[in-house]
Structure 1
Amino acid sequence: MKAARTYLTASALAIGLMSTSALAEELRFTVWSGNEAHLKMLNGIAESFKATHPDVTVKFETIPAADYTQKLTFQIAGGNPPDLGWMMEDAAPTFEKAGVLMDIGPSVKAAEGYDFGDLSQAAMGLWQDGEKVYGIPFSTSPFMIYYNKAMFDEAGLDDPLALAAKGEWNMDKFQEVANKLTEANPGKWGFEFKDGEGYASRVMHALMPPIRAYGGDAWANGECGFDKPEAVAAVTQLHDMVFKDKSIVPPGEQGDYFSGNSAMTINQISRASKMPEAGFEWGIAPLPAGPGGESPVIGQAAIVVFDQGKQKDLAAEFVAHMTNKENVATMAQFFPPARKSVLESDAFINSNKLIPADQMKNLGAAIAAGKVLPSHEKSPQILAAMAPRIDGLWKADANVEESLKAVCAAIQPLL
């Protein structure tokens, strides 16, 4: 009899374990950052979700940025979408038009204390269609110039932040100091495109800041802008810096600003997390102005829920949790927020211990005045059509104007 009681107890325990296992749920969340500091922060936010959802875990899956949109598309087409994920601004119209994103508006608006009206309407532009909400921006991040202050000091040059304070930080001065820094540091360069990838996967990040500074754009109102005089002048200057001045890291070589091999680069605030490894004094400054004035360029990313996901309602609840005021304030150290209350707070200005408050203030000003990178519902096709024509641009003997005309000829039918 005693043995029977023991057997029943063990059976009951097994059933209980099975029941607990069945209740446990896992959300798959794709991101493009594998940075330790970012993932630690994200996992902390996921852990806090357990206060209201004790049986839910969130698994963050890293896909490299260069492959992110393509691999995400393959997962969706293959019937294995994540539950939710980050999405880049250029892909937003494509995924919205394809009908693969869930309208998360009802979920986030119904979340206790969420305050949907606190989200900047300008920041929400790409992610809303009438009352439908397809994403909540977690990062509305202006591109900034990162500079190696030690290299500027050694060359006897004012750094970009000092030049900006004097009203002298423009495209001509940018070219001048990049050239002088290269001459003062044999074997190194004055400037490197974002993460050393400006000739292929990051080409829009390389081209848009100078084109906007000159008063141009990639496209507007269905018309290509690459062949307009403003864009031609901007890209000609870049081409000269690469092949005549030799002050920008050329195609096929790796300058690596973070290792001290380039004096300047362009990036967003999230990359400050890499700077403790750099081993040199550094700073951030606004993008150089140009004939078109100061033209901050914004890179934006949002959290979306995939409509084919297995747990989309739960995923939408997690979006509401992740983008509430408390967690947006936590993420603001790396990802400038879309919430007005956080962006305007002293807490945001002092949120990143790596960056002085006076430099963080520049971020707020850039967000207020900036314009998001170009996007289009046919962005994948446009970028694919651009690629071989852009490749032809990055040769020493390239005719910049003709190359940009070829870009427009290729993409105009898609616009």
Structure 2
Amino acid sequence: MKTAMKLAVSTLALCAMSTLALAQELRVTVWTGSEAHLKMLNGIAAGFIAKHPGVTVKFETVPVADYTQKLTFQVAGGNAPDVAWMMEDAAPAFENAGLLMDIGPTLKATEGYNFDDFSQPAMALWQKDGTVYGVPFSTSPFLIYYNKDMFDKAGLEDPNQLAAKGEWNMQKFQEVAKKITEANPGKWGFEFKDGEGYASRMTHALLPPVRAYGGELWANGQCGLDKPEAVAAVKQLHDMVFKDKSIVPPGEQGDYFSGNSAMTINQISRASKMPEAGFKWGIAPLPSGPAGEAPVIGQAALTVFESGKNKDLAAQLVAEMTSKDNVAIMAQFFPPARKSVLESDAFVNSNKLIPPEQMKSVAAAIVNGRVHPSHERVPQIFAAMSPRVDALWRADANVEEAVKGVCAAIQPLL
């Protein structure tokens, strides 16, 4: 009797241990809180869960302004997520510190995956000497979002109409932003990305016009903000903020998505917010400049941490999320790096909110654009930039001296 009871207890214990072994939760950190994005991601995860009984997938939203810092703290504290979205500017720091798993073998061993379908330029930041540190799920160009109603009220052609005529340039951008501000008292012509152009998105505020003028933030270990092309671009922005008063100034909230600014700059994923905007809208290419058209690409990838508790399973999840079928699903919000998807008719028709002719400009920008500059010391570079950039955004600032100060602060880190 006792032997039978012991056997029963042992059997129950083994069953419990087996259940615990099977019950694995994969944590995936993301910076989106969009209901549409999360619904899509959970739908993709459901397919993975169906193939892996006992596994659950949890998407954990971390605000974009704090994302890289909090991710760093989690890894340093021994609490790394299983899978993480990673921004292009932070990639070198995590790669060079040896924190990311080589997921190449898992991807290439996955049946039907076709790793070669990924554009090599898109993969450049995420692989080195045969090691694959991440897979881009978003290779998204920066675009102008505009409030069609505000343009109509001001009697102005919108950015798409101007682009079709070859007139959408930095001079016209400044001109229409000023006129719209004058036609809409209490509102602005333009707002920087996510309203964070003076803080966490300071490089995203500066980069598009600087490249349109033929400059760069930094390249080949050298700061470029103090070069004549960049200085001219930053002076134009400074004039728009403090002379024209057409760009939302420091300390104010323009909130394009609530109708308080006529234009902003963002990526295609933000289209998910537009159904609730309450106004007619559209997307257009970035304005060209003296250097011609200069599309800017923002990139984000799925990565797995070497210290993760379930890293092999996590790598399989990345393979599932970046399969051709799932990349096609994600393309409605996140422009793909898979050539077969990007070149398909399905891509230009993938976003129900954006007309196909406007999606074609998205595809063109991906092909012709350059990625936001990155560096292994990006966190330190941003920390050094911040007070110097703050000094730039003052009405009485000497722009040329201010950008020289930025370069002096970050050059030792570059």
Residue 57 of structure 1 aligns with which residue? 56
Residue 367 of structure 2 aligns with which residue? 368
Matches for 1:300-339 after TM superposition, within 5 Å: 300-339=299-338
Assess if the C-alpha contact under 8 Å between 2:49 and 2:57 holds in 1: no
Aligned amino acid, residue 247 of structure 2: I
Mapped partners of 1:397, 1:60: distance in 2: 45
Partner SS state of residue 389, structure 1: helix
Matches for 1:83-102 after TM superposition, within 5 Å: 83-102=82-101
Partner SS state of residue 204, structure 1: helix
Residue 66 of structure 1 aligns with which residue? 65
Mapped partners of 1:411, 1:242: distance in 2: 25
Residue 220 of structure 1 aligns with which residue? 219
Mapped partners of 1:6, 1:163: distance in 2: 83
Mapped partners of 2:55, 2:144: distance in 1: 40
Aligned amino acid, residue 242 of structure 1: V
Q: CA deviation at 1:223?
A: 1.2
Residue 280 of structure 1 aligns with which residue? 279
Matches for 1:350-369 after TM superposition, within 5 Å: 350-369=349-368
Task: State the Cα deviation string for residues 274-332 of structure 1 (Å, max 9, x = none).
Answer: 00010100000000000010000000000000000001111011111100100000000
Alignment coverage as a number of residue pairs: 413
Partner SS state of residue 252, structure 2: coil
Mapped partners of 1:13, 1:130: distance in 2: 49
Mapped partners of 2:38, 2:5: distance in 1: 45
Mapped partners of 2:297, 2:53: distance in 1: 37
Mapped partners of 1:67, 1:123: distance in 2: 25
TM-score by length of 1: 0.97
Residue 247 of structure 1 aligns with which residue? 246
Assess if the C-alpha contact under 8 Å between 2:104 and 2:132 holds in 1: yes
Mapped partners of 1:386, 1:323: distance in 2: 35
Residue 270 of structure 2 aligns with which residue? 271
* Change over 3 Å in CA distance of 1:77–1:11 after alignment to 2: closer
Q: CA deviation at 1:23?
A: 1.1
Aligned amino acid, residue 58 of structure 1: V
Mapped partners of 1:305, 1:31: distance in 2: 13
Mapped partners of 2:184, 2:239: distance in 1: 19
* Change over 3 Å in CA distance of 1:7–1:128 after alignment to 2: closer
Aligned amino acid, residue 315 of structure 1: A
Task: State the Cα deviation string for residues 194-251 of structure 1 (Å, max 9, x = none).
Answer: 1111001000110000000000001111111000000000000000000000000000
Mapped partners of 2:153, 2:12: distance in 1: 70
Give structure 1 stretches of 5+ with no counterpart. Answer: none
Mapped partners of 1:82, 1:223: distance in 2: 34
Mapped partners of 1:21, 1:379: distance in 2: 40
Mapped partners of 1:233, 1:386: distance in 2: 19
Matches for 1:143-292 after TM superposition, within 5 Å: 143-292=142-291
Mapped partners of 2:165, 2:53: distance in 1: 54
Q: CA deviation at 1:262?
A: 0.3
Q: CA deviation at 1:80?
A: 1.1
Aligned amino acid, residue 373 of structure 1: H
Q: CA RMSD in A?
A: 1.7
